[in-house]
Amino acid sequence: MNDASRLDKRFAALKAENRPALVTYITAGDPGFETSLDILKGLPAAGADVIELGMPFSDPMADGPAIQKAALRALQSGQTQAQTLELVRAFRREDTQTPLVLMGYYNPIYRYDVERFLDDAVRAGVDGLIVVDLPPEHDDELCLPAAQHGIDFIRLATPTTDAKRLPRVLGNASGFVYCVSVTGVTGGRAPTSQHVERTVGQLREHTHLPIAVGFGIRNTEQAATLGRFSDAVVVGSALVECVERAATPHDAIAAVHGLTRELAEGMRRAR
């Protein structure tokens, strides 16, 4: 079985249930390896349908303050690219069903060595990649090699991606399409549902892939509203802030899982 098929199976199952997916983002190694692993392991039981695991990087240019600080906490705790893959391996020892996508920037992958990274990612149990600073003009760098390894390459469609460029952006995409709901960085202003609904409708004219909406979604009400017309809703900064605010590792784990349960309930009410 191709591990990347976890995404296809999960979205097909949720379509049959007529509900959108909850996609949760956390940063690998934040605030430390063991706490991060405990958070990761508990996300599916709390209601996460797909997990995005951030690869810490020192210059996360598409991310807002919350995820920037999370990356810094992880790096200061000693998190490396190899340890991020070890988190995935440890997660897979207990969970072979939940799709897991690595999200981040090309530099850590390039420094690790692309071919070695893809080989190790497959063995660890990674299903997909979101690499925000590699446009389709550089598909030969990572997107196409990832596909050859059976790893989905998820593309971002932003509010500035016009109809002329969309076919190029989506040409080699797989897994799902990440619809950026607002112009700006992660954790910014809340999206306007009417605008996002129009954007999702336009995207559906160009792809048959599931469409996940993210950026600026912070609570159950927002998630449920956007889930009415999308295939998935992505929540990241709000979860990462739970870690930032926590007084102890136990508090961080409880807060992330608690918010995930609330968001999952919103997904069940979305349709």
The domain segmentation of the chain, as residue ranges, is 5-268
Q: How far apart are CA 155 and CA 172, in angstroms?
A: 9
Q: How far apart are CA 4 and CA 150, in angstroms?
A: 6
Residues shown for the chain: 271
Residue 194 has pLDDT above 70, yes or no: yes
- Look at 120-129, 131-140, 194-203 and tell me which has the smallest mean pLDDT: 194-203
User: Check: CATH 3.40.640.10 for 5-268?
Assistant: no
Cβ neighbors of 247 (< 8 A, separation 6 or more) are none
8 Å CB contact between 157 and 173: no
User: In this structure, which amino acid lies at residue 211?
Assistant: I
Percent of the chain with pLDDT over 70: 94
Which helix (H) or strand (E) element contains residue 153? strand 152-153
Verify whether residue 221 is a known catalytic residue. Answer: no
Catalytic residue among 8, 49, 52, 152: 52
Residue 155 has pLDDT above 90, yes or no: yes
Residue 117 has pLDDT above 90, yes or no: yes
Question: At 1, is the pLDDT very low, low, confident or very high (cuts 50, 70, 90)?
Answer: very low
The pTM assigned to this predicted structure is 0.93
Helix, strand, coil percent content, the chain, rounded in steps of 5: 50, 15, 35
**Residues 77-84, mean pLDDT to the nearest whole number:** 97
Question: At 185, is the pLDDT very low, low, confident or very high (cuts 50, 70, 90)?
Answer: very low
pLDDT of residue 164: 85
Catalytic residue among 3, 30, 63, 139: 63
**Residues 56-67, mean pLDDT to the nearest whole number:** 88
**Residues 222-248, mean pLDDT to the nearest whole number:** 95
pLDDT of residue 270: 73
**Residues 188-215, mean pLDDT to the nearest whole number:** 84
Residue 52 has pLDDT above 80, yes or no: yes
pLDDT of residue 190: 53
Verify whether residue 8 is a known catalytic residue. Answer: no
pLDDT of residue 271: 67
Burial grade of 82 (CB within 10 A; 0-12, 13-18, 19 or more):
exposed
pLDDT of residue 254: 98
**Residues 161-177, mean pLDDT to the nearest whole number:** 90
Question: How many CB atoms sit inside 10 A of residue 250's CB?
Answer: 11
